[in-house]
Amino acid sequence: MILLTGGAGFIGLHTAAVLVGAGHQVVLFDNFSNSKPLGVKRLESITGRAVPCVEGDVRSSQDMDRLFDQYPVSAVIHFAGLKAVGEGETQPLRYYDNNVTGSLVLLAAMQRAEVRRIIFSSSATIYGNSDSNPIPETAALQPANVYGRTKLMVEDILRDLHVAAPGWSIALLRYFNPVGAHPGGLIGEDPSGIPNNLMPFVTQVAVGRLAELQVFGGDYPTPDGSGVRDYIHVMDLAEGHRAALDWALRDPQEILAANLGTGQGCSVLELVRAFEKASGQAIPYRIVARRAGDVAACWSDPSLAAARLGWNATRSLEDMCRDAWNWQRNNPQGFA
């Protein structure tokens, strides 16, 4: 059985759908601090079978021990954590506690339960202000915010653990910009409050919840002046986890850091145009000042994941926009 901590969240639900579809048995574990039980119900209607979901906190040794006592877990995918960059700056203790303490408590419980395979949700944010693109895994790790530092700390903890306990198999997956939704429109991204990220902002403008998009910066040294990112369809990302899981279940007893991205840069204005085309909705926008802390351009070199995990992204920007729109149109208020 595969344990997905934070399994009721955006990436967890999509990964669970792919894993169950591939014949894996999964158990989700979540404290619902940023997700809703309805998401799990929707997952069950996609998979056509019950998916166990345990409510609890990764920071609780008791909760974790009970879970490992109850379920025969063979590998863990560790999604649970907090991810809002701005919030991390104003609530650093909460971020270090959830992301770093949470990971430590989970790892100690895994050690007690003799489970030694883990896939960790890292982030491209740990590359910080990388000065060249595409970014390979060997690039300097220099996160520029609290959230990024929590991710790098957990990577460092896992590297140290692997030195001390080389029997572990550990994948550090560095996600670029996950967007889109399951094509059925039953699950998708449901940020609380006003979205910080581009795609959910765009879909909420399209559905009329927000009036217009602010494009942060029109004077970057990029082809059209707006920021460039590596958007990856969440179903591709989910399949990347499946590939990493297959790798871990072969017991390579290795620690592997891999980018999950498409290797393609896309600007804010390109994304807006692609979304308008896919949805048939006009997205009113205004170019405003740059957002503090943003880089001009950031995209991945995804070749290591192809070589080591046999995985690469296959879905297009059009697929990402169509599926994000399909989700938002069918669920204008998300899971509420």
Nearer to ligand UD1, 177 or 312 (CB): 177
Window 21-60: residues binding ligand NAD (CB under 6 A): 30-35, 57-59
> Does 214 interact with ligand UD1 (rule: CB under 6 A)?
yes
User: Which residue of the chain is nearest ligand NAD when measured via CB?
Assistant: 9
Give CA–CA dist 336/327, Å, rounded: 13
The site partner of 128 among ligand NAD, ligand UD1, none (C-beta below 5 to 8 Å per kind) is none
Catalytic residue list contains 175 = no
CB count in 10 Å sphere of residue 160: 10
Count of residues that bind ligand UD1 according to CB under 6 A? 20
> Does 125 interact with ligand UD1 (rule: CB under 6 A)?
yes
DSSP labels, 183-251: TTSSS----SSS--SHHHHHHHHHTTSSS-EEEE-S-SSSTTSS-EE-EEEHHHHHHHHHHHHHHHHT-
Nearer to ligand UD1, 197 or 253 (CB): 197
Q: Which of 71, 127, 147, 231 is catalytic?
A: 147
Which burial class, exposed, middle or buried, applies to 214 when counting CB atoms under 10 A from its CB (0-12, 13-18, 19+)? middle
> Does 98 interact with ligand NAD (rule: CB under 6 A)?
yes
Give CA–CA dist 206/276, Å, rounded: 9
> Does 79 interact with ligand NAD (rule: CB under 6 A)?
yes
| φ/ψ (deg, to 5) at 76 | -120, 135
> Does 8 interact with ligand NAD (rule: CB under 6 A)?
yes
Among 37, 167, 293, 310, binds ligand UD1 (CB under 6 A): 293
> Does 291 interact with ligand UD1 (rule: CB under 6 A)?
yes
Cβ atoms of 229 and 179 closer than 8 Å: no
> Does 331 interact with ligand NAD (rule: CB under 6 A)?
no
Nearest to 47 by CA among 238, 240, 231: 238
> Does 198 interact with ligand UD1 (rule: CB under 6 A)?
yes
Instruction: State the residues that interact with ligand NAD by CB under 6 A.
Output: 6, 8-12, 30-35, 57-59, 79-83, 98, 102, 121, 123, 175, 178
Question: Which residues are marked as active site?
Answer: 147
